[in-house]
Chains A and B, each alone.
Chain A
Amino acid sequence: MSETVLSDSTSPARATAPVDERLAYRSVFQRLLIRPEIGALIGLVGIWVFFWATSVPFGTANAAASILDVAATLGIMAVAVSMLMIGGEFDLSTGAMTGAMGILIILLVKEVGDLGGAGLSLFIAIPISLAVALAIGFFNGWMVEKTLLPSFIVTLGTFFIVKGAKLGFSKLTVDQIQVGRIDEGAGYSFWRPIFAAEWDRTKHQYEYRDVIYTLGLIIGLMIIAVAVFELFFQRRGERRPTGALAFVIGLAGLYGGVAVLHLTDGYGGNLLASVMFGVFGLLAVVGLGYWRYEPVGDRGRLSLDGTVSRPLVLAVVLFALAIAVAMILDATNNESLFFPFTEQGLRATLFLFLIGGSMTLMLIAGIRARRLSITTKTLVNLVSAAMLGLLAFFVRSQSDSIKFRTEAFSVLLILATIVAVWSIAGVLFAERTAIDRAADRLGGRLFIIGSLLVVVAFLAKLLFTTTAEIDAGLASSKFSMRIIWFFGFTAVMVWVLGRTRFGSWTFAVGGNKEAARQVGVPAARTKTQLFMLTAGAAWLVGMLLAFRLNTIQASTGDGQEFEYIIAAVVGGTLLTGGYGTALGGALGAIIMAMAQLGIPYSRWNSDWRFMFLGAILLIAVVANRFIRNKAEALRR
């Protein structure tokens, strides 16, 4: 910090120069790693892999629909609660509020009628219930601001008031602990699709689905690969068209490989396709690099010191241990009430943890090797690729389930290929060491295009079925409208938090309220608006529940407020305020939904669910702190 230049005469000129030489360049990966959501993203992938490996249905479109269904209502609240927590406040009334809004709308539609004539139309009842929700949110904010009491206490009071009102009004009006039949309200047919439309994938057949899926995935991933090259490598001054030609030929050859794989069946075809992938893939990579990027200058000497060799050796040991565990323990012994304690469960868990540890260590070794020399880095990367390849074939040989033999095998093989290609590219082309706005812009755009294609591919796969699948007796599965609300709400809130003044002020009032007030941020108003946002989200969830369930229990939603807070914390939001993201809350909610459904899918005793959630919370908090410390270190 102390290197600030004291001489005034030179610094203005330097500051206006596009690049500050004291600013260490951060590569795409480093920039990605300091995002607050990264911990949640890694957790999401990890938990997905864990349950995918231990359960049969996980990974099917059916499971995706169920997980997103649970994640949607949880996630809408988690995103809003994340924002409130970034603003430095808590709201314990959120859970009870969701149920209360569902009950309120039904009472307005059904029971107000008893007081005089028919019940209210939904067109009137919906705005009224929203207004009530916002008023309660305003009350929370106003109380916290006026009394300066901790919001924990104030909203604990609101929680009991709302909880009591739910039961009280239910008993008073219908003399039951549940109210129902929103479908008898006027305007139901208009509002139902908005809150509770469903897409039954078995009723939508599209024979070209797999073509779109495969093409979208392959082309999308290729574009993403090019984008990563563009973001990562140093552009050369003069382009070489011959390289472009080689690149195009390579791509065509790769596509040919896919065609061969698709059209042929059997050993010969697979071998031909593999050879084509290898040859043309290499041609494409080298061609792309020769066309656009600077060749690497000094590769340096191979030097392995303790910082690299220690994790490297440990990784190999863990890898061998994992293989040994899988060989020794009996995969067929699964006779127990509680899956993780059967021999099969132990085998799967140990294997996953050992492999995970081994791969993490390889990653650490790779990152450290970067500091030594390019040759060392390449060596470590090639070892990683070899281990992944070995793992792919081991999994294939060990398992008799289709899932492992095809899906796990191909994913691992693709990963091994990516790592191998990456190490080859790294030894041939020079990494970028300075900001290049043009390259960043092109790379960024290509990345978005590629990602969109991948999303389209997955959407096609998820939303449509083929006649063949139906004939094979595919179970019906429905995607609900609430998923769109969830994604839409998250997207809007990500924008609000990152781009608007309100978002900036949210961070400010949570980070240092007095400072924010001194420079003119309306702190009280911002906090009150955050409470209203949370209550508004609870209203939305209340509507989604009412239109889905038709009947709402007086206890609906009670106790869920802690799940929202867990999701927010898992997503990287700081409990003390001032730091976090909206997207993290959404990811945290998906993690929780996966855990919630993964347990029954894996046929474990779901009585243990909360133990699992608690463990996830603790791991997430520790991991987030660790990652944040690393990220802070990286910034300096």
Chain B
Amino acid sequence: MSTQLLELDNITKYYGNIIALRDITTSVNAGEVTCVLGDNGAGKSTFIKILAGVHQQTEGTIRLNGQEVRFGSPKEALAAGIATVYQDLAMVPLMSVWRNFFLGSEPVRRFGPLRWIDQDRAREITKSELARMGIDIRDTEQPVGTLSGGERQSVAIARAGYFGAKVLILDEPTSALGVKQSGVVLKRIVEARRQGLAVIFITHNPSHAYPVGDRFLILNRGQSMGNFAKGEISLEELTRLMAGGAELEQLQHELEMAIAGGNGDEGAVGTMTSTPSDS
């Protein structure tokens, strides 16, 4: 299996005496989406931070293209081609789309000692790169702050792809978005996969992960609950595993009881046409 782009082998992380992650093993191929699922406190953030170079694993190895690597800083991870799009987006709201797209890596023209940004080229590339990702931005001059959440995520993904990322880590890109906007972002993920990027998609929403994922890693309390290929697991099972199996079944049962009870009350009044569960 040396064709795998990124392999993680028995990754373990301690914060002092707290075990944040224990023996996590998974892999990501180019042109594949690996979804990392887990509820709050499952260890997703620690997982990202190790890959992004913010923290280092206590035990275990990371192999990139078969070579063992260890990232000392976010910069090293970025240089190795691992780009992370954080939830808070790394965008400057008052600056225009194209300035944000090229921020930190602006194309320049020079005359003698003078150097200035090649604005026409930057605008053009921004427009065409976004279009390549299927993002149709109206005006690259408009401030990023006026874009919707989904559009902002999309710009961040396109930027990571343009600047040579091989592995793209997305930290909960859909968690703050509505249904339609989430759909926009999921489309970008599919598009990034089609263009050959290896995508690690972190989420706590299995119904977002299931349609786009090729591989699912489920975390619970810092431990792997399983590592499945797409054919091996159904959405229902994924959801069940993610919430810790039996616990969710118990919860579902309780909820059904509550709702049934609520319906009974409404029925007793007899005039209501809609029930709370409908609304």
| Chain A positions near chain B (C-beta within 8 angstroms) | 1-2, 4-6, 8, 11-12, 14-16, 20, 22-23, 495, 499-501, 504-505, 507-508, 511-512, 514-516, 518-521, 578-579, 632, 635-636
Do B92 and A512 touch (CB < 8 A)? yes
Which residue of B has the minimal Cβ distance to A13?
Answer: B131
Contacts of A507 in B (CB 8 A): 92, 94-95, 99
Please list 30 pairs of residues, one from A and one from B, whose beta carbons are closer than 8 Å in the complex, sorted by A's number: A4-B150, A4-B151, A4-B184, A8-B191, A11-B131, A11-B134, A11-B136, A15-B131, A16-B128, A16-B131, A20-B136, A20-B139, A23-B138, A495-B116, A499-B119, A501-B108, A501-B117, A504-B103, A505-B104, A507-B95, A508-B99, A508-B104, A511-B95, A512-B92, A514-B90, A515-B88, A516-B92, A516-B103, A518-B86, A519-B159
Least CB distance, B29 to chain A, in whole angstroms:
23
Q: Give the contacts of B160-206 with A (CB-CB under 8 A).
A: 180-181, 183-184, 187, 191
Least CB distance, A328 to chain B, in whole angstroms:
49
Contacts of B115 in A (CB 8 A): 500-501
Return the contact of B127 from the options A15, A501, A514 (Cβ within 8 A).
Answer: A15
Contacts of B146 in A (CB 8 A): 1, 632, 635-636
CA distance A474 to B121 in the complex (A): 55
Contacts of B81 in A (CB 8 A): none
Do A504 and B93 touch (CB < 8 A)? no
Do B93 and A512 touch (CB < 8 A)? yes
Return the contact of B89 from the options A16, A515, A636 (Cβ within 8 A).
Answer: A515
Least CB distance, A4 to chain B, in whole angstroms:
6
- The reply to whether the CB of B130 lies closer than 8 angstroms to some CB of chain A is yes
CA distance A521 to B91 in the complex (A): 12
Contacts of B184 in A (CB 8 A): 4, 6
Contacts of B88 in A (CB 8 A): 514-515
Do A499 and B116 touch (CB < 8 A)? yes
Least CB distance, A3 to chain B, in whole angstroms:
9
Do A578 and B92 touch (CB < 8 A)? yes
Given contacts A515-B89, A579-B94, 5 further A-B contacts (CB under 8 A): A4-B135, A15-B130, A15-B136, A501-B117, A635-B146
CA distance A514 to B89 in the complex (A): 10
Least CB distance, A389 to chain B, in whole angstroms:
39
Least CB distance, B178 to chain A, in whole angstroms:
8
Contacts of B191 in A (CB 8 A): 8
Do A499 and B117 touch (CB < 8 A)? yes
> B93-110 toward A: CB 8 Å interface, digit per residue (1/0)?
111000100011110100
Which residue of A has the minimal Cβ distance to B160?
Answer: A519
| Chain B positions near chain A (C-beta within 8 angstroms) | 74-75, 78, 86, 88-95, 99, 103-106, 108, 115-117, 119, 127-128, 130-132, 134-139, 142-143, 146-148, 150-151, 159, 180-181, 183-184, 187, 191
Contacts of A512 in B (CB 8 A): 91-93
Contacts of A500 in B (CB 8 A): 115-117
Contacts of A515 in B (CB 8 A): 88-92
Contacts of B78 in A (CB 8 A): 520
CA distance A505 to B117 in the complex (A): 12
CA distance A346 to B198 in the complex (A): 74
Contacts of A22 in B (CB 8 A): 138
Also in contact, A14 and B92, with CB within 8 A (given A1-B151, A516-B104): no
Least CB distance, B67 to chain A, in whole angstroms:
24
Do B136 and A14 touch (CB < 8 A)? yes
Do A635 and B143 touch (CB < 8 A)? yes
CA distance A520 to B95 in the complex (A): 16
Which residue of B has the minimal Cβ distance to A34?
Answer: B141
CA distance A6 to B187 in the complex (A): 8
Which residue of B has the minimal Cβ distance to A11?
Answer: B136
Which residue of A has the minimal Cβ distance to B106?
Answer: A501
Contacts of A501 in B (CB 8 A): 106, 108, 115, 117
Which residue of A has the minimal Cβ distance to B122?
Answer: A504
Also in contact, A518 and B134, with CB within 8 A (given A1-B148, A15-B127): no
Do A6 and B183 touch (CB < 8 A)? yes
Return the contact of B131 from the options A12, A499, A516, A579 (Cβ within 8 A).
Answer: A12
Which residue of B has the minimal Cβ distance to A5?
Answer: B136
Do B104 and A519 touch (CB < 8 A)? yes
Contacts of B143 in A (CB 8 A): 635
Which residue of B has the minimal Cβ distance to A501?
Answer: B106
Contacts of A635 in B (CB 8 A): 142-143, 146
Least CB distance, B147 to chain A, in whole angstroms:
7
Do A4 and B136 touch (CB < 8 A)? yes
Also in contact, A521 and B103, with CB within 8 A (given A501-B108, A501-B115, A516-B92): yes
CA distance A421 to B86 in the complex (A): 55
Return the contact of B132 from the options A6, A12, A578 (Cβ within 8 A).
Answer: A12
CA distance A548 to B174 in the complex (A): 63
Q: Which of B89, B116, B137, B147 has the most CB of A within 10 A?
A: B116
Which residue of B has the minimal Cβ distance to A511?
Answer: B92
CA distance A16 to B117 in the complex (A): 22
CA distance A578 to B145 in the complex (A): 12
Which residue of A has the minimal Cβ distance to B147?
Answer: A1
Which residue of A has the minimal Cβ distance to B143?
Answer: A635
Do A519 and B187 touch (CB < 8 A)? no
CA distance A511 to B92 in the complex (A): 6
Do B94 and A504 touch (CB < 8 A)? no
CA distance A1 to B146 in the complex (A): 8
Do A12 and B94 touch (CB < 8 A)? no
Which residue of A has the minimal Cβ distance to B181?
Answer: A2
Contacts of A4 in B (CB 8 A): 135-136, 148, 150-151, 184
Contacts of A16 in B (CB 8 A): 127-128, 131
Do B105 and A520 touch (CB < 8 A)? yes
A-B pairs with the 5 shortest C-beta distances? A15-B131, A520-B104, A511-B92, A1-B148, A11-B136
Do A15 and B142 touch (CB < 8 A)? no
CA distance A391 to B191 in the complex (A): 64
Contacts of B150 in A (CB 8 A): 4
CA distance A507 to B134 in the complex (A): 28
Contacts of A520 in B (CB 8 A): 75, 78, 104-105
Least CB distance, A565 to chain B, in whole angstroms:
20
CA distance A578 to B147 in the complex (A): 17
CA distance A579 to B143 in the complex (A): 11
Contacts of A632 in B (CB 8 A): 146
Contacts of B151 in A (CB 8 A): 1, 4
Least CB distance, A71 to chain B, in whole angstroms:
28
Do B127 and A508 touch (CB < 8 A)? no
Also in contact, A8 and B117, with CB within 8 A (given A23-B139, A501-B106): no
Least CB distance, A356 to chain B, in whole angstroms:
31
CA distance A2 to B149 in the complex (A): 10
Least CB distance, A336 to chain B, in whole angstroms:
48
CA distance A514 to B134 in the complex (A): 28
Contacts of A495 in B (CB 8 A): 116
CA distance A505 to B86 in the complex (A): 20
CA distance A516 to B94 in the complex (A): 12
